[in-house]
Amino acid sequence: MGNLFVCTTVGVTRYLHEWLEGVKLLKPSIIVIARDLDRSEPLEASEQYHIITYRTYKAWKGYELRHLGYESDYSIGLGIVKLMEFFLSRNETHFIHIDSDVIITETCARKVYPLTWDNLTIVTPVIPRDKMNDPNAKPMWFWDSTNFGLRRDLLERMFNSIKQILNDPHPIDIKIHNVIRMFKPTSYREVREGVYHYIRGVKTPL
């Protein structure tokens, strides 16, 4: 048996209600949101989640420009580090980060259990950042996203290496997965069923 710490880093909060309804299907012990006060939309307090705040002192230029020049990567990375620190101060066995514009369904949630994995990848529909302005670009599956899970013992071993990514965080998602691979997970699970991603404001499956 195990229990889940489910979290996200905002960013944009416009899909938060739907995101919450999805992650609650995982029956987590706690839902935690890390918010960069300088780079996020307003976030109301709620009994449904715990909020961690931090600051990067880099101005928010709006949702559409948030990834321009990989500008958001340091903020996302620092938020994930703050979430991991909070997780390690608690007793949950498994950590899962799911982006606030990624919506999971019951189909996806069922695949997460049983908690016998030390590394979970939630394969996500994306359009690569360098093609976001191309109206003909088609969504594709992406494995090395910031939608992933780690068992406590693996996260403990790799945490210092994750923190070091902040010295050069671009691209944050791929660098996190490179660290995970370096620590050689032994119980890997991949989920792609029932995963949706808001891309250009459209809820997109594959």
Over the stretch 107-165, which tens digit does the pLDDT of each residue have?
Answer: 999 999 999 999 999 999 999 877 877 888 899 999 999 999 999 999 999 999 999 99
pLDDT computed for residue 70 by the predictor: 65
First to last CA, the chain: 32
CB 132 within 8 A of CB 48: no
pLDDT computed for residue 4 by the predictor: 98
Backbone angles phi, psi at 5, to 5 degrees: -105, 110
Please report which helix (H) or strand (E) contains residue 199, including its range: strand 195-199
Domain 4-204 class, CATH top level: alpha beta
pLDDT computed for residue 65 by the predictor: 59
pLDDT digits (tens, 9 = 90+) for 190-201: 999 999 999 988
Q: Where are the domains of the chain?
A: 4-204
pLDDT computed for residue 41 by the predictor: 87
pTM of the model: 0.95
